[in-house]
Amino acid sequence: MTQSIEPMSRVDTAWLHMDQDANHMMITGVLVLDRPVDRNRFKKLLETRLLRFARFRQRVTERNGRVYWETDPNFHLDNHLHRIGLPAPAGQAELQEMVADLASEPLDFHHPLWQFHLVDRYEGGAALITRIHHCIADGLALVQVLMSLADEAWDPHTQDHLRREGSLPERLTRPFRRVAETGAHLAHDLISEVAELAQHPEKLGQWVQEAEHITEELMRIGLLPHDPETHLHARLAGRKRIAWAQPLELAAVKETAHQLRGTVNDVLMTCAAGALRQFLIDVDDDIESDIHVAVPFSLRPRDQAITTLGNQFGLVIVRLPVNEPDSLKRYHQVREAMTNLKNSAQPQVTFGLLNLLGKGPAGIEKFALDTLSDKASLVMTNVPGPETPLSIAGARILQPLVWVPQSGHLGVGFSILSYAGSVQFGVIADSQMMQDPSQVTRDFEQSLRELQRHTLSQD
């Protein structure tokens, strides 16, 4: 039987303590569905699939300066599952406003820190809004947990292919095992090297040389100047704005990347840089220098499904060349920055830093994470999701979107998530920094079209 109380890990405690009135450490998600959902059927799904993780029955409690997970003695699903409706005309603008309102409100600390809101009659179908506190788990784990609520969406044209590709759990976990592969490789290489050093101390000299390289990288990160004072560094108001683009065709993005001899990630990062450039021109009139973005990467084993929650990730700081007016030159600068990152020790550094500080006082880790985020202007996640269509309680998932919170003074987050042959792009922003994030989603699409025109001109 699961213990009724257990200590919260230091890393998870740090994320709990980073919660602010103007910046809640809450992961927000939206699933757009093609038809209404029976509440009782969905409730049964939560009971059988979500609640198998004890964490979703536990609330947060503090005793003698330590934070614990404690089974909620008054746990009831009705405290976490709400059915709501949209005002007319019940379209994307109304749903975006509702999601923004919920993302601006804190969770109830008297109960486990998660909620689902089932939205009726959204564009002839429905929508599912999720809110889960970051102390429960990192974004990658929670995306996979959410997808575990889903079943295969029946499509007679894909069934033979799906059978060849393996079972649903295998196919669901396959794309997650490829997340941030470079960062994961480096992180696990570092773990292996430490273990090998303990068994073979004669290798100390070689390890010291590599440690010097890591130390140099740590100093380089520390010496990075703060990003320029733009609208992305306005004082937080605490009210969120949310927008998302229509799904983009993944095959078209892959073809663009192929023509430009780069990766899908290079193309998408370039589109983000182009959208941010246009935003900064619109609100600040001028761009003095490039900016940086904080990108989380997973440290979870790539060959295993997620069976435990908690936070297991590091951060990398990536330069976005928003100061470059030419989209093709901007692309090459992004590709160069990403290549340099893959060849650097930065993923090792942030992994080691977060791992060590996670064992110490939570306030120290908060300081370290804030220091890292001081080097950036926003957070950007890029998560590969399921490759085949899924359904929840009989309703097909048309579009999934997930935003991680922005720690410290950061108030803008970009989210990219692939799903069933499409790419989803969404923005979450503090209202003081962005009044109209939907314009940024349109500029993201425009940046992609510009790159595609370059590839056509090369044919």
Instruction: Look at residue 167 in the predicted model and tell me its pLDDT.
Output: 42
Residue 334: is its pLDDT beyond 80?
Answer: yes
Contact (Cβ atoms closer than 8 angstroms) between residue 77 and residue 46: yes
Average pLDDT score over the chain: 78
Instruction: Look at residue 211 in the predicted model and tell me its pLDDT.
Output: 46
pLDDT (tens digit per residue) in 3-14: 588 998 877 887
State which fold the 5-177 domain adopts: Chloramphenicol Acetyltransferase (3.30.559)
pLDDT (tens digit per residue) in 185-221: 333 333 333 344 344 444 444 434 444 544 554 555 5
- Segment of 12-16, 266-270, 334-338 carrying the highest mean pLDDT: 266-270
Q: Domain segments of the chain: what residues?
A: 5-177, 181-382+408-458
Q: Which residues contact 67 (CB under 8 A, 6 or more apart)?
A: 7, 8, 13, 16, 60, 61
More reliable by pLDDT, 87 or 184 = 87
Helix, strand or coil, per DSSP, at residue 431: coil
Tokens linked to 321:
């060349």
pTM to 2 decimals?
0.81
> 131: part of which helix (H) or strand (E)?
strand 125-133
List Cα–Cα distances, 267 to 96, 255, 294, 328, 332, in angstroms: 26, 10, 17, 10, 10
Residue 338's pLDDT band (boundaries 50, 70, 90)? confident
Residue 23's pLDDT band (boundaries 50, 70, 90)? confident
Cα torsion for 145, 151, 157, 158, to the nearest 10°? Answer: 40
State the residue for tokens 């019940």: 90
Residue 54, number of CB atoms within 10 A of its CB: 15
Residue 389: is its pLDDT beyond 80?
Answer: yes
The answer to whether domain 5-177 and domain 181-382+408-458 are alike in fold is yes
Strand partners, 314: 297
Residue 390: is its pLDDT beyond 50?
Answer: yes
pLDDT (tens digit per residue) in 94-129: 999 999 999 999 999 999 999 999 998 899 899 999
What is the DSSP code (8-state) at residue 149? Answer: T
State which fold the 181-382+408-458 domain adopts: Chloramphenicol Acetyltransferase (3.30.559)
pLDDT (tens digit per residue) in 402-449: 898 887 788 999 999 999 999 999 999 999 999 999 999 999 999 999
pLDDT (tens digit per residue) in 228-264: 788 898 899 999 999 999 999 999 999 999 999 999 9
CA distance 366 to 336: 31
Q: 117: closest CA among 103, 128, 107, 102? A: 128
CA distance 302 to 248: 26
**Gyration radius from the chain CA atoms:** 22
